[in-house]
Structure 1
Amino acid sequence: MFQGLNVFKAAHAMATHAGQRQTLVAQNIANADTPGYKAQDIRPFAEVFDGDAASGMRARRVGHLNAPDSAGNLPTFQSESPTDPNGNSVSVELELMKGVEIKREHDRAIAIYKSSLSVLRTSLGRV
């Protein structure tokens, strides 16, 4: 009955996106001294969500349209930031700022989930 509530799906998607983006930021920081390494990132969730809503088409399963693969990986892009003399484009300061932004996105997703769960419980008469 309550399996198709979009607010829970959106909160899950936000949290999953934040986790995937945090993984890339951690990889960037880990490779900050690797010669030739290019910093990677994925588009922010708002851009991904707006892009899906504007087209009117959504991937409903793996392999449908341009759906992420079975691991749930989103397409990455390489940062266009200036490179060091060794060809590395990672700026640790920028990556740390991205990490803070991502934490806020994840906290927002959890807050949405908890608030929606609270509303659902209240509507069922449970507190």
Structure 2
Amino acid sequence: MFENLDIFKMASGMARHAVTRQEVIAKNIANADTPEYRAKDIASFADAYDTTSSDTKMRTTRAGHVLDSTATPSGYDLFDAPGATSPNGNTVSLETEMMKSSQVRHEHELALSVYKSSMNILRTSIGRK
């Protein structure tokens, strides 16, 4: 019953987006010295949320089924992040990735705060504390 409340779906989606983006950032950092590696990123949650509501894309029925090479397992599209290219062709900037990581931590904390606040409101409305 309560899993169909939109606020919980939104909070869950925000947390999943933050986790997926953190995975992409970690992969960028791990490949910081790899020649010709292009830094990746995913769209913001607001942009991703708008596109996931449309039925224009094929949906997977299980992990790895019809997975596009430009998509993450969570379904977010990867794109090349803008940045300067080093002499070996790598576009990863560790400073930029660390700033993104801090931003993602904040987004994840926001998702958890929304979830906790919603749970408190729900508990109050049914008379529990």
Shorter-chain TM-score range: 0.7 to 0.9
Who is 2:57 aligned against?
Answer: 66
Q: Structure 1 runs of 4+ off > 3 angstroms?
A: 67-71
Q: CA deviation at 1:72?
A: 1.9
Who is 1:17 aligned against?
Answer: 17
Q: CA deviation at 1:68?
A: 6.1
Aligned length: 118
Q: For 1:107 and 1:68, how far apart are their aligned partners in 2?
A: 29
Who is 1:47 aligned against?
Answer: 47
Who is 1:2 aligned against?
Answer: 2
Judge conservation of contact 2:24–2:40 (CA < 8 Å) in 1: yes
The aligned amino acid for 2:21 is: R
Q: CA deviation at 1:16?
A: 0.1
Q: Gaps (5+ residues) in structure 1?
A: none
Q: CA deviation at 1:4?
A: 1.1
SS at match of 2:3: coil
Q: For 1:23 and 1:38, how far apart are their aligned partners in 2?
A: 15
Judge conservation of contact 2:3–2:9 (CA < 8 Å) in 1: no
Aligned ranges for residues 1-127 of structure 1 at < 5 Å? Answer: 1-49=1-49, 51-52=50-51, 58-59=53-54, 64-66=55-57, 69=60, 70=63, 71-127=73-129
Show CA shifts across 1:80-106 (max 9, x none): 211100000000000000000000000
Superposed CA RMSD in Å reads: 1.7
Show CA shifts across 1:50-95 (max 9, x none): x34xxxx825xxxx43266443231100112111000000000000
Q: Gaps (5+ residues) in structure 2?
A: 64-72
Q: For 2:95 and 2:58, how far apart are their aligned partners in 1?
A: 32
Show CA shifts across 1:21-54 (max 9, x none): 00000000011000010000001112223x34xx
